[in-house]
Amino acid sequence: MLKVAVLVSGGGTNLQAILDAVDSGKITNAKVEKVISNVAGAYALERAKNHGVQGVTLRRKDFENKRAWEQALINEIEDCGAQLIVLAGFMAILSENFTKHFENKIINVHPSLIPSFCGEGMYGLHVHEAALAKGVKVSGATVHFVNEEVDGGKIIAQKAVEVLAGDTPETLQKRIMQQAEWIILPQAIDDIANNRI
């Protein structure tokens, strides 16, 4: 059974997709052991609690420096025995020190088809604003391994989503979550848990 730690910052819609996929059997041989938020009061922690999963808050500003904060993250992850770390709307850049510590054990879902609209500053609605400004007809989501380069790790899965006339960043974001992120992120976890990746 693969033990998973999920790192979050906000509402936790991707976390919910993971929890639902475990419940429905779409993810097998894996269990969410702990949810860690870098934002106090993030609704994702409520989702974890409702599923009987331990939730922890580790705010960067409560630590002397980034290294101390990342060490606290490492301790929480190792404490629960997690073998896979999933960044699900986690709005913090992790250092090379952290990514090397968990090399090939961290995955992220990004709301575009990497290498488009990714890297520093490309997160949340910024990604969808950039896609609409460019006039692309197709966007989507990417699940990838996390390394020291922002959105630079090896791609695991991608799914395209059509951009529609009249889309706003918000409508595009919602469609990409529903038609791509909530499908390929659980699938990637299942593939890892069952040694297909």
124 vs 2 pLDDT, higher one: 2
| Alpha carbons 135 and 47: distance in angstroms, whole number | 35
Taking the domain 2-193, which CATH number applies? 3.40.50.170
pLDDT at 21: 98
Nearest to 176 by CA among 186, 166, 184: 184
| Alpha carbons 16 and 141: distance in angstroms, whole number | 17
Task: Tell me the pTM.
Answer: 0.95
Task: Give catalytic status of residue 110 as yes or no.
Answer: yes
Helix (H) or strand (E) holding 177: none
Taking only the tens place, the pLDDT of each residue in 59-113 is 999 999 999 999 999 999 999 999 999 999 999 999 999 999 999 999 999 999 9
Question: Of these residues, 101, 110, 126, 128, which one is catalytic?
Answer: 110
Q: Which amino acid is at 88?
A: A
pLDDT at 177: 96
Taking only the tens place, the pLDDT of each residue in 134-178 is 999 999 999 999 999 999 999 999 999 999 999 999 999 999 999
